[in-house]
Amino acid sequence: MSNTPTLDAPAAGRPDLTGGPPYTFRRATHDTQDRVIGGVAAGLAAHLNLPVLWVRAAFVVAAALGGAGVAMYAGLWMVLPTDEKFAEGAPGLESASRRGARPRRVRRLVDAGPAIALGALGFGLLLIVQGFLGAGAVFWPLLIATVGIALLWRQADEAQRERWVDSTGRIDPVRMVFGSGSWQAVARVVAGALLIVLAIGVFALREGQMSDVYSILLSAAVGFLGLAIVIGPWIYRLAGDLTAERAERVRTQERADMAAHLHDSVLQTLALIQKNSQDSALVARLARSQERDLRAWLFEGESKDSDTLAGAMRTIAAEVEDNHGVDVDLVCVGDCPFTERLRALVNATREALVNAAKHAGTGKVDVYVEVTPSSIEVFVRDRGVGFDPDDVPEDRMGVRGSIVDRMDRHGGKAEIRSTPGEGTEVRLRLPREKSEEEHDG
C-alpha cells in the first residue's frame, strides 16, 4: 500500500524518461559456429560472459543429476533463436560470403577436446548414477530417444542455416529437412529417426511383448497422420508466404551481389589506373569500360544478351571499345529478335568498327542502328582521316571482303563513303523478311 505513491512518482516527476536513448535488449542466441550439440552452451556463455567450458560443465553435471541439464538444454535449444540472422556486415563481405568466396571457420580437433572430455565425463557420471540407483525401465529408451531428437534438431538448425543462403528462391520440402543434402545431413536425419524408433521399441520390449511394439508404432503413425491433416493446410499457407518473402530476399541479395561485384571491379580498375597512370590510353580504356558496366547496371537495365539485335550490337560495341581503345557511341532505334540471318549484318558492323578504330585515327566512332518494318540500317561513322574509296587496293580485305561482299552474299547492301580529311561512313542495309516483320511487336 505504501508503494503506491512511489509508483506514481516516475510518471509525474520524470517525464524525460522517454527522451533518453532506448535500451536495447541483448538477446541470447544459440551459436551455430562454435558448438558441440546445439550451440546452446556456447551461446549462453557468450550472453552471460562466462567461459564456455564452465557452462558446458554445468550442463553435464546437471544432466548427471537426474537429467535436469538435458531438459534445460533442450528447452533453451527450442526457445533461443539462432545467431544466423540476416547478415549485417559490409556489403562486399556479405556478398562474398554468399558466393562462398571467403575462407570459412575451420574446426580443429583441438577445439573439440574439452567437449569430448566433458562428454566422457558425463557418460561416466551417468553410469555411476545408474549403478547406484539401478536402471529404471525408462532410462535407456529415454537416453536413446534424447540422442535421436538431438540429432534431428541439430539437422533442423543446419537446414535453417542452409535456407538463409538458398539461392533458388523456392521452398523445397527435401531441402527443408536435409538442407543442402550433404551425406552428413542425411545421416543425421536417418540416424535420429532410427534412434527414436529404437527407443520406442526398447521401451515397448521392456514393458511387454513384441505385438505391443507394433501397436505402439502404429498408434504413433496414426497420431502423426492426424496431426499432419489438422495442421497441414496451415503449414502449406505459411510456406506460401515464406516462399514469396524468400523470393524477394533472393532478388535483393542478387542485386546486392551484383552491386558488390561491380564495386569490386571498380576497385580493381582504380588500382590498375594508379599503377598505369602514365599510360593515358590504357587509363582511358579502363575508365571507359568501367563506366559502361556501371552505367548499364545503374540506369539501363538493358541486357547484353545477344537475343535481340540491339543487344548483339551493344556486345560488339563493347568488345571493340575494349580491344581497340576507341569510344563507340551506339544509338539503336527499334529492335528485333536476333536471328541467324542478322549475324552477317552484325559481323559487317564489327568489321566496320574495327576498321574505323584502326585507320581513322580518332578515338570516337558513332554507330546508328535503325530497325524499321521493311529493313534494318546500320551507319558506322568516324571523323578520322578518311580515304579515297577509288584508291583502296583490291587486296585490302577488310573493306571489300568483310563488309561489301558479306552484305551482298546475304541479300543486303553496303556502301562506303569517305572523304580524305573528313572521315568515313559505312552504311549497311539489310531488307527484312516477312517472317521477321511478323515477329516484331
Partner 1 sequence: MAEPHTGPGSGKVRVVIVDDHAMFRVGVKAELGDAVDVVGEGSDVDTAVATINKQQPAVVLLDVHLPGGGGVEVIRRAQAHDTKYLALSVSDAAEDVIGTIRGGARGYVTKTITGPELVDAIKRVDSGDAVFSPRLAGFVLDAFAGSIEVASVDEDLDRLSEREREVMRLIARGYAYKEVAKELFISIKTVETHMSSVLRKLQLSSRHELTKWASDRRLL
Q: Which of 366, 400, 410, 413 binds partner 1 (CB under 8 A)?
A: 366
Q: Which of 245, 291, 433, 440 binds partner 1 (CB under 8 A)?
A: 291
Region of 100-108, 230-238, 241-249, 324-332 interacting with partner 1 (CB under 8 A): 324-332
Alpha helices (runs of H) in 91-108, residue ranges in sequence order = 91-98
Smallest separation (angstroms) from partner 1 to the CB of 269: 16
Q: Are 293 and 330 in contact (CB under 8 A)?
A: no
Q: Which of 143, 425, 426, 436 binds partner 1 (CB under 8 A)?
A: 425
Work out whether 48 is an interface residue with partner 1 (CB under 8 A): no
Region of 50-58, 263-271, 346-354, 364-372 interacting with partner 1 (CB under 8 A): 364-372
Work out whether 90 is an interface residue with partner 1 (CB under 8 A): no
CB nearer to partner 1: give 98 or 292.
292
Name 395's Cβ contacts closer than 8 Å, sequence gap at least 6: none
Maximum Cα interatomic distance, the chain, rounded to a whole number of Å:
113
Which helix (H) or strand (E) element contains residue 310? helix 309-324
What is the side-by-side order of every strand in the sheet holding 327-333?
A: 327-333, 364-371, 375-382, 423-431, 413-419
Q: Which of 282, 289, 368, 385 binds partner 1 (CB under 8 A)?
A: 368
Smallest separation (angstroms) from partner 1 to the CB of 20: 32
Smallest separation (angstroms) from partner 1 to the CB of 397: 26
CB nearer to partner 1: give 216 or 287.
287
CB nearer to partner 1: give 34 or 370.
370
For 37-95, the DSSP string reads SSSHHHHHHHHHT--HHHHHHHHHHHHHTTTHHHHHHHHHHHHSPBS--S--S-HHHHH
CB nearer to partner 1: give 36 or 367.
367
436-437-440-441 Cα dihedral, nearest 10 degrees = -150
Residue 148, number of CB atoms within 10 A of its CB: 20
Smallest separation (angstroms) from partner 1 to the CB of 85: 32
Name 348's Cβ contacts closer than 8 Å, sequence gap at least 6: 378, 402, 403, 406, 407, 412, 414, 428
Q: Which of 219, 333, 401, 440 binds partner 1 (CB under 8 A)?
A: 333
Q: Supply the Cα-derived Rg of the chain in whole angstroms.
A: 36
Smallest separation (angstroms) from partner 1 to the CB of 289: 13
Q: Which residues bind partner 1 (CB under 8 A)?
A: 291, 295, 298-300, 327, 329, 331-334, 366, 368, 370, 379, 381, 425
